[in-house]
Structure 1
Amino acid sequence: MLTPKFEVHQDDDNLTVKIFAPYSRISDAEINIEGESFIFYSSPYYLRLTLSGKLVDSELEKYKATFDADHGAFVIVCQKETRGEHFANLDMLTTLLAPHGATGVKKPIIEVIGEESTVDEEEEEFDWMYEQALPDENIVTAGHKYGFGNNTTGVFTSLQSELKGVVDVDDPDNKSVSHRREERITQELSLFDEDHYLADYFDVDTAQQCVEFIPEFYSITSDEVELSYQEKEDMLKLPRKDHLLDKGTKSMVYLGLADILYAWCFNHRVTLGENCVESAWNIAKLSSTLSWLDSFTHLKDVAISSVRRSLAFPLVRNWQLSQEVLKDTAQILTLGRKKVLQCLLEIQRFFNLSEPRYLLNQLYITDYCVWVQKVKDNKLISLADSLKKLKVTKSDMCLDLEDLEAAAHLVLEEEEENVLSPEENINNVVTDLSGLTIIENGAALGENDNEEAVVEDAVITSTREGLSHLSDSDSSSSESDSEDDSDEESDSSDSSDDDSSDDDDSEREDSSSDSSELDSDDDTLSENDEE
């Protein structure tokens, strides 16, 4: 049998049920109304609703049934037994589909004599500020538990390959809640990035847009919250079951809900309500319940964990932004279970599209979607009021945020006060600048244009002095070299003169000897002629 899509509306006198059954035969439709039960059958569809008030029985034929051919829907108008009675939870489709059953832990058959009777658990008030203790785990028979109401164990033993993609804790089946919490806090403190935090602290433009964003849920009331067609479709796919929780477990489940809603509100604000491909990661990472399978016993622990993780992991890490998200979480709770259910259904869709995070739906989100439909709004409003009164300070984070911010401001003040002169030695300039902490995008340096100019002037002055020194030494060396060259030239000229004189003398001697020989020859010839 198929469960058809349906809608339920009411007025003072009647209850109208619209059932979409396009593949059924109109002639085969059967309707049975008896008190709080409404049953519709037309093969292959079967629908059974359990209402909060009584209707006039179908045997009296006080109802009216028609078929809307345009939409393929049966429209059945039923008369209320008590006119003017308001039927609750008509939007909570999963609750309407669930059969009547126990809504709380069954009372024990054996009671202690003399013990005063207790009030209904739904009427009990929770002290959200009171530290409660989790029940001891029987690890011999059950192992360490986690999941909705801490009722699951052994899941990750058989899914070790998908563990890293779902949670941050290693081997959760063999670690207690307290052990997981200690490891979580250690990780948060060790992965906190001071540079990233200071960058967002000084670069106000990045976070200011998120801080100034006004989500749409601030402009509506609880009565104006309407579930979409997609959300109603998702509700029909939820299991029909009751969750039997004792008082201590209920408190833990409420606190886990606040933790998950904080992660949803953070993603909603930083994406400006548009969501993105990282929305599933944002929600799973910021929630300690989802990422570390943690269980809370005090509301302040929830707030501290949520804010600290918002300063350690996401892209935008800003204290004011984290405080605004706390207000958003309280606002969501104030709007009641219908708005809370909307947020949970959206988370469920995110995780279904982000493998292997679908496991988080099986462990937490699906059960929360079923459970919250039966929660009374006054419990959620009480939790919201306590969250509004809660004060979370920077010192609660154990991240030395105040000291970090003070040191950053001190560096900026020193930069503004200390103006370096152009005559200062370049080595001192470099030494002073090396002590500064440089943050991303230059956010912590303030107006450092003057400093850069000072360093540039100092470098130019030093370079010019070096160049002038080099020019002087070069000129002196060139003069000495020129003198040496002139001396060498004079020596060489003298030696050349000596050589030339010697050559001239030798030439004269040679020429005189040659002339004497000629003269002697002439004399000989003349004597021979006379003879």
Structure 2
Amino acid sequence: MITPCFSCSQTDASVVVSLYCPSVRAAELETHVDDTLLTVHINPYFLRLNLPGRIVEDENSSADYNPSTGYLTITLTKEVKGEDFKDLDLLAKLLAPPPSKDRLSEPRIEVLSSEVVQDSDDELMEKTQASSLEQQEFLEAAENDWRLPQTVPDTLPPLETSAKRPYGFLNMHSGYFTHVEHTENEVNELGKDAETCPLDERRRKRLRHEDEKWDEEYYMADYAEDEYIQELIAWKHPHASIGDQPLGYSEDEQLMMLRLPRKEYLATETQTYGLYLTLLSLLFSYAYESRTTQRDPTPESAWTICSLTPAFSALDPPPYLPSCSPSEEERSATRFSAPELASTFTASYRRALAFPLYRSWALVEACRSDVSSFLLAGKRTVTRCLLELKHILDHHDVYYVYSKIWVDDFCTWVQAYASDEVMKDLGRCVESLRMEKDMIGWDLKDLEEVVRGATQREPDSDDESVE
């Protein structure tokens, strides 16, 4: 079955779904409405939408097919007149399956046997007398209400039944790097061990590679001669000033959304926290690429994005601190821990100062400001950023793999499961975050001081007047 191109709109009393179904027989149309679920089948097209509110089929509902244009227009009545159906422009959210109704918040305990054995007093006395000396002491201790020492055993590590280590979105993927040694994947920092390398080893390799690529002279040169970098910093990203006004997606963007995965993501609270942190690193890489090319991608754009994203190059997504959940005090003020946000941006900053063409602290700070603006604008703007990033990766013959294991799922998750409120809260946290140069682990302040000192001394020798 083919998923047709479609769009949704609404009036005060109805929802209108427009489908592009050229060269079909209108007599074969089948529609079914069940609460919020709309199913449309007209050979060879099939569409199932999970709408934000309840709909019904009544005398005001209709279906009209225009053979000259190929558009099928279906009008359905809202069960509650005047209800606002939100996110009708987020096609991936409409296509996502409805959440499971039988999902359990807590595990159930199955009682295998409820048989109760009642012993008489004589039988109990016989069993007590027959017990060992150790048991006698235990009974005496219990009778005297002694406090016996108790310790909680250490949690055993998860049982590994395979040498392969999953990666990607919610660790759902594997097998994409089985033959990586035969491809020209220049950003892969794990080599042929990408399929079997555990997470702690991935992180060590990533940090070691960043230290090896760090070039003090390169950084000093960009700090000394930064005229073009200042132009890049002054450039305003168009998505950074969109705000909350309605955002219309282009036809190409709608087609990309139709091809996204249609999954239900059963992420835990901890996993969801990690996804928001990983989203920061993706948006930072996108912001850097967009700012340095002014949204005119080059053949190097895919390499730049992948090199700046730890989750791509080393399959090492955040969180980077031992605990990824904020404390109770922090949770009362915000959902996100400031140290965790700093560690996430530290990883992105290190890579932006060690790998790409322009290596400037002021530039990476401008990119962080862009990330904050994207998040404050809401999930529609974030979705558009991810779709642009996906478009760049999809058109590369090697790096498209990172779109498959990360970006595709993120595009669906942001539309269907992420919260606008959480994103805006995260945007405010990123905006107020203070990043210090000492966090990076390299002597940035000392290098900048050397450049300033050399700049001040140059006029003494070069510009000295000759009498």
TM-score, structure 2 normalization: 0.80
In 2, the alpha carbon distance for the partners of 1:335 and 1:106 equals 33
Q: Is the Cα contact below 8 Å between 1:268 and 1:274 reproduced in 2? A: yes
In 1, the alpha carbon distance for the partners of 2:196 and 2:43 equals 49
Question: Does 1:62 find its partner at 2:60?
Answer: yes
In 2, the alpha carbon distance for the partners of 1:335 and 1:190 equals 37
Amino acid at match of 1:388: E
Aligned match of 1:183 = 205
Q: Secondary structure at the match of 2:53?
A: strand
Amino acid at match of 2:20: F
The Cα of 1:71 is off from its aligned counterpart by: 2.7
Deviations 1:460-494 (A, max 9, x none): xxxxxxxxxxxxxxxxxxxxxxxxxxxxxxxxxxx
In 1, the alpha carbon distance for the partners of 2:180 and 2:196 equals 14
The Cα of 1:70 is off from its aligned counterpart by: 4.5
Aligned match of 2:73 = 75
The Cα of 1:194 is off from its aligned counterpart by: 1.8
Q: Is the Cα contact below 8 Å between 1:103 and 1:243 reproduced in 2? A: no
Q: Is the Cα contact below 8 Å between 1:177 and 1:295 reproduced in 2? A: no
In 2, the alpha carbon distance for the partners of 1:246 and 1:160 equals 35
The Cα of 1:449 is off from its aligned counterpart by: 5.7
In 2, the alpha carbon distance for the partners of 1:84 and 1:364 equals 38
Amino acid at match of 1:107: S
Aligned match of 1:27 = 27
In 2, the alpha carbon distance for the partners of 1:303 and 1:138 equals 32
Question: Does 1:259 find its partner at 2:281?
Answer: yes
Q: Is the Cα contact below 8 Å between 2:241 and 2:373 reproduced in 1? A: no
**Distance verdict in 2 for CA 1:10–1:410, change over 3 Å:** same
Q: Secondary structure at the match of 2:411?
A: helix
The Cα of 1:260 is off from its aligned counterpart by: 0.7
The Cα of 1:263 is off from its aligned counterpart by: 0.1
Q: Is the Cα contact below 8 Å between 2:98 and 2:264 reproduced in 1? A: no
Amino acid at match of 2:427: A
Aligned match of 1:361 = 403
**Distance verdict in 2 for CA 1:108–1:361, change over 3 Å:** same
In 1, the alpha carbon distance for the partners of 2:101 and 2:178 equals 32
Deviations 1:437-468 (A, max 9, x none): xxxxxxxxxxx365xx98xx9xxxxxxxxxxx
In 1, the alpha carbon distance for the partners of 2:354 and 2:102 equals 39
Question: Does 1:275 find its partner at 2:297?
Answer: yes
Q: What is the Cα-based RMSD across aligned positions, in Å?
A: 2.4
Q: Secondary structure at the match of 1:223?
A: coil
Name which structure has the greater RCO, CA cutoff 8 Å, separation 6+: 2
Q: Residue 381 of structure 1 is aligned with which of 406, 424, 427?
A: 424
**Distance verdict in 2 for CA 1:165–1:138, change over 3 Å:** farther
**Distance verdict in 2 for CA 1:163–1:154, change over 3 Å:** farther
Q: Secondary structure at the match of 2:51?
A: strand
Q: Is the Cα contact below 8 Å between 1:348 and 1:361 reproduced in 2? A: yes
Question: Does 1:164 find its partner at 2:164?
Answer: no
The Cα of 1:34 is off from its aligned counterpart by: 3.3
The Cα of 1:391 is off from its aligned counterpart by: 0.9
In 2, the alpha carbon distance for the partners of 1:406 and 1:39 equals 66
Higher-Rg member (1/2): 1
The Cα of 1:210 is off from its aligned counterpart by: 0.5
Deviations 1:224-280 (A, max 9, x none): 222111111011112211111111111111111110110001111111122222211
The Cα of 1:223 is off from its aligned counterpart by: 3.2
- Which residues in structure 2 correspond to 1:237-248 (within 5 Å)? 237-248=259-270
The Cα of 1:306 is off from its aligned counterpart by: 0.9
Deviations 1:482-529 (A, max 9, x none): xxxxxxxxxxxxxxxxxxxxxxxxxxxxxxxxxxxxxxxxxxxxxxxx
Q: Is the Cα contact below 8 Å between 1:284 and 1:290 reproduced in 2? A: yes
The gaps in structure 1 that reach 5 residues or longer are 113-134, 420-447, 458-531
The Cα of 1:156 is off from its aligned counterpart by: 2.1
- Which residues in structure 2 correspond to 1:334-373 (within 5 Å)? 334-373=376-415
- Which residues in structure 2 correspond to 1:32-431 (within 5 Å)? 32-56=32-56, 58=57, 60-102=58-100, 106-110=104-108, 138-141=159-162, 143-162=164-183, 164-165=185-186, 167-170=188-191, 171-297=193-319, 298-374=340-416, 375-417=418-460, 419=461
**Distance verdict in 2 for CA 1:175–1:32, change over 3 Å:** closer
Deviations 1:88-128 (A, max 9, x none): 2312212212332329964343269xxxxxxxxxxxxxxxx
Amino acid at match of 1:233: L
Amino acid at match of 2:166: K
In 1, the alpha carbon distance for the partners of 2:221 and 2:103 equals 51
In 2, the alpha carbon distance for the partners of 1:101 and 1:411 equals 63
Q: Is the Cα contact below 8 Å between 1:166 and 1:356 reproduced in 2? A: no
Q: Is the Cα contact below 8 Å between 2:37 and 2:49 reproduced in 1? A: yes
Deviations 1:338-386 (A, max 9, x none): 2211122222221121121121122111111121112111121122122
In 1, the alpha carbon distance for the partners of 2:360 and 2:8 equals 44
In 1, the alpha carbon distance for the partners of 2:274 and 2:309 equals 14
Q: Secondary structure at the match of 2:296?
A: coil
Amino acid at match of 1:78: L
Amino acid at match of 2:451: A
In 2, the alpha carbon distance for the partners of 1:151 and 1:26 equals 41
Task: Decide which moves more: 338-347 or 138-147.
Answer: 138-147
The gaps in structure 2 that reach 5 residues or longer are 111-155, 320-339
Q: Is the Cα contact below 8 Å between 2:189 and 2:209 reproduced in 1? A: no
In 1, the alpha carbon distance for the partners of 2:255 and 2:374 equals 22
The Cα of 1:160 is off from its aligned counterpart by: 3.4
Q: Secondary structure at the match of 2:50?
A: strand
**Distance verdict in 2 for CA 1:213–1:14, change over 3 Å:** same
The Cα of 1:15 is off from its aligned counterpart by: 0.7
Q: Is the Cα contact below 8 Å between 1:217 and 1:332 reproduced in 2? A: yes
The Cα of 1:304 is off from its aligned counterpart by: 0.7
Deviations 1:126-157 (A, max 9, x none): xxxxxxxxx95543446433211123344423
Q: How many residues align?
A: 400
Q: Secondary structure at the match of 1:179?
A: helix
